[in-house]
Structure 1
């Protein structure tokens, strides 16, 4: 499924998967997909003003770092020593199950994690048009589903959503 993804868009999805695995989540959900997109920033959108720190404050990524620090263990140092090359996008695969078509799983050197419904929708919306899947398309997928919480997180982080929607060229449905 990664065949049409640009390198940066793929890196954002891989980053989200690593965050989900590190947090011990049972599935990759849209909030971590948004955090992955925010950390990698696979686009140059002037209206996307949220920082990774702003989004991270609003997303539950677990608290392993402070817990291990009380034991004198530096998690960043452990990651540097044990994860060399694990975040390389080429080492990861995104696959849809042939037997269960709604099951999409991200596989990589650190493990595998299924995509939750909202994260799967992000990928499907990003791929719905011909051409490469870019960071803008991932952001489009995040904003297309009002129930996944991404818009709320971005609003709370100070992003002007109407301007962002205009900048990425998302069609807006007007209520009657």
Structure 2
């Protein structure tokens, strides 16, 4: 499944997984995909910053903050680990043969099942590929916008993003919810 992704789109997926793990989550949801997209690349028409998305997501403190209270630098610990956990080549995106609706992202940092919303984002992105043979970052953003009721769309609305204008800029019509 991951073979159909561009290197940049793979990095977004892996970054989203690492963000989810750092927040103590055991699944990958579309809000982490939105945050990873906001961190990774400035797209014309997509003016949302990572800090604005992070503020909207909120939630419990991540591993960095918790370990820092104990005097442990998580980045230093990760630097000393021989396997790079953020290397997209070390990660796999797979659909379960037994449970076809279960998609997991597996890598050196852990195994994260995608929530229904995140799975839908990936499937829409993979099916969109009309512009090329591989899933791109723009395709992932299209996947986020395709469902007008997901967490990412609600975050973007709260941040004042013109969703229909962004969808038109990306070259597709969005179904407003």
TM-score over 0.5 for the alignment? yes
After the TM superposition, list the runs of 4 or more consecutive aligned residues in structure 1 that deviate by more than 6 angstroms.
none
Change (3 A) 1:83 1:141: farther
Contact 1:47–1:160 under 8 Å retained in 2: no
| Superposed displacement of residue 95, structure 1 | 0.2
Between the aligned partners of 2:39 and 2:110, the Cα distance in structure 1 is 21
Greater Cα offset, 100-109 or 130-139 = 130-139
Distance across 2 between alignment mates of 1:2 and 1:35: 20
Specify the SS of the correspondent of 1:95. Answer: strand
Contact 2:12 2:33 in 1 (8 A): yes
Partners of 2:15 and 2:36 lie apart in 1 by 5
Once the two structures are superposed, residues 74-109 of structure 1 have per-residue CA deviations (whole angstroms, 9 ceiling, x without a partner) of 233233333752101111000000111000000101
Task: Show the counterpart of 1:121.
Answer: 120
> Displacement of 1:24 after TM fit?
2.1
Asked if the contact 1:49–1:158 (Cα under 8 Å) also holds between the matched residues in 2, the reply is no
Q: Which has the higher contact order (CA 8 A, sep 6+)?
A: 1
Shift of residue 163, structure 1, vs aligned partner? 2.2
CA RMSD in angstroms, aligned pairs only: 2.0
Tell me which residue corresponds to 1:149: 151
Distance 1:146 1:109, change over 3 A: same
Q: What is the aligned partner in structure 1 of residue 57 from structure 2?
A: 59
| Deviation (angstroms), 1:132 | 1.2
1:28 aligns to 2:32 (yes or no):
no
Q: Secondary structure at the match of 2:64?
A: helix
Which residue of structure 2 aligns with residue 79 of structure 1? 78
> How many Å apart are 1:73 and its aligned residue?
2.0
Deviation for aligned residue 1:111: 1.1
How many positions carry a matched residue from both structures? Answer: 173
Structure 2 residues without counterparts, runs of 5 or longer? none
**Which residue does 1:100 correspond to in 2?**
99
Q: TM-score, normalised by structure 1?
A: 0.89
> Deviations for 1:112-131, whole angstroms, at most 9, x for unmatched residues?
11000000000000011342
